[in-house]
Amino acid sequence: MATVEVAEAVLTRAQILGWRVRHQGADYLHVRPLGDGRAVFLLPMLGGNLRVAIGEMGSPVFDDGWCYQAAQTEQAWTAALGWDGEGEPEGWYRHHETGRRRPGGDAQKEYRYW
């Protein structure tokens, strides 16, 4: 698992473009092909939350996804722009499939909700 550093200007530009395309009807805020047939997707959720998902490019379903709270917007965008698609992205709050939670995105505080 690796996430490259994302420059502030790149992050800000991606956020502006992402919300613009979303308001124009796109399903996602950002889609980044990984070069191996998969892509990293950034999806808006209710309450300003975001989800970083990974799956096959063009598929209507995802292989996995991680939720970020509205206060973790920067972490979600950083993962969408810089995560290499291996392991798990950094800074997430909830992994829906396993019930794992990480308060504030801190891996040291991880617990299972169910």
The predicted pLDDT at position 77 comes to 97
Average pLDDT, the chain: 94
Between CA 8 and CA 67 the distance in angstroms is 22
Contact 101, 94 (CB under 8 A): yes
Q: What is the pLDDT of residues 49-105, one digit of tens each?
A: 999 999 999 888 999 999 999 999 999 999 999 999 999 999 999 998 999 999 999
Closest CA to 109 of 98, 94, 88: 94
- Show the beta-strand stretches assigned E in the chain: 30-33, 38-44, 50-56, 64-68, 94-95, 100-101, 111-112
**Residues near 59 by Cβ (< 8 Å), separated by ≥ 6?**
none
The predicted pLDDT at position 4 comes to 83
Contact 85, 2 (CB under 8 A): no
